[in-house]
A and B are shown apart, each in its own frame.
Chain A
Amino acid sequence: MNSDLVARYNYDEFTPEKFLPWMRFESSPQLGEKGPDFSLWELDGTETTLSECWSGYAYLIVEFGSFT
C-alpha cells in the first residue's frame, strides 16, 4: 500500500489544502453503468466485497462516512 497516499487520504488536519483535493464527486462513476467493486471488511475483520453486498438486495443504500 502506498504510504504517501495513505497519509494524504488520512490527513491530520482539516485545512483546505488537505481536504479539498478529496472532494471529487464530479469525477465519480456515472449512474446507469456498473459500479467498480472493492474489498471491504466487516467489524470482525471478515473480508467481503461491495458486489457481495449489492447482489443481496433489490437495492442497496450505501452511506459513506465516519465518526468525525
Chain B
Amino acid sequence: MNEIANQYAEQGVGSIFLYTHEPHPGENYSHLTSMEQKFNHARDLRDKLGVNRSILVDSLDGACHREYGSMPNMTWIFSRSGIPVYKSDWTDAASVANAVDYFVGVRQRRRDGERLAPFQVQRLDFHNQDWDAFYEGLARNGPKAVREVDEAFE
C-alpha cells in the first residue's frame, strides 16, 4: 500500500492509514486502554513496520472505525466531496490499484468531455492468503495472540 501511495500521489490521489484497535492483542501489544498507548502503537506501525503514509489515529472508542464497519483491515476510497466510491472489507493492494486506475481514468474522461453518470457495481476480488506472514505478525504481538487465533479457528 505504501507503493500505491507513491505511485498515485502525482495524480491527485492521497493515502492515509487510520489506526483503529488491536484485533489480535498479545503480551507485546496488548488491548488499548488509553490514547497515549494508541499513539505509541501507531508510532511503532511507522517505525517498526515501515508504514510511511500519513498515520491518523481514531478516538479510543473507535467512532470512525465503527461507523465504517469496523473490519480489521479494510480500505475505503473517498472523492474530494467525501463520497465513498470504493469499499473493501479486506485490504489488497492490487484491488485498490485497480480501483484507483479506474477513478483516475474517470477524471480524464470527464476532462475529455464525456458525460458520465455513476452506477452501483458489486464484485468479488481475491487476495493471497499468506499464512506464514500472518502468523509472523501474530508472533510479533506475543504468544497469546497466536494461541487465541488457533483456538478461535480450531
| A interface residues (Cβ-Cβ under 8 A, vs B) | 1-2, 5-6, 9-16, 19, 22-43, 45, 48, 50-51, 53-68
Contact = CB atoms under 8 A, between A and B. Distances in A.
A56 B11 CA distance: 12
B29 A68 contact: yes
Interface of B: 1, 4-5, 8, 11-26, 29-33, 35, 39, 41-46, 48-49, 53-87, 89, 91, 96, 100, 103-104, 107, 118, 120, 137-138, 141, 144-145, 148-149, 151-152
A61 B69 contact: no
B39 A43 contact: yes
A52 to B, nearest CB: 10
A22 B69 CA distance: 7
10 contacts: A1-B59, A5-B61, A9-B66, A43-B42, A43-B46, A57-B12, A59-B78, A63-B53, A64-B20, A64-B65
Nearest to B32: A10
B73 A67 contact: no
Contacts of B26: 68
B25 A14 contact: yes
Contacts of A64: 18, 20, 65, 68, 71-76
Nearest to A11: B31
A66 B61 contact: no
B103 A59 contact: yes
Given A23-B71, A58-B107, A65-B19, A32 B80 contact: no
B56 A53 contact: yes
B22 A24 contact: no
B78 A63 contact: no
Given A14-B145, A40-B18, A68-B145, A60 B25 contact: no
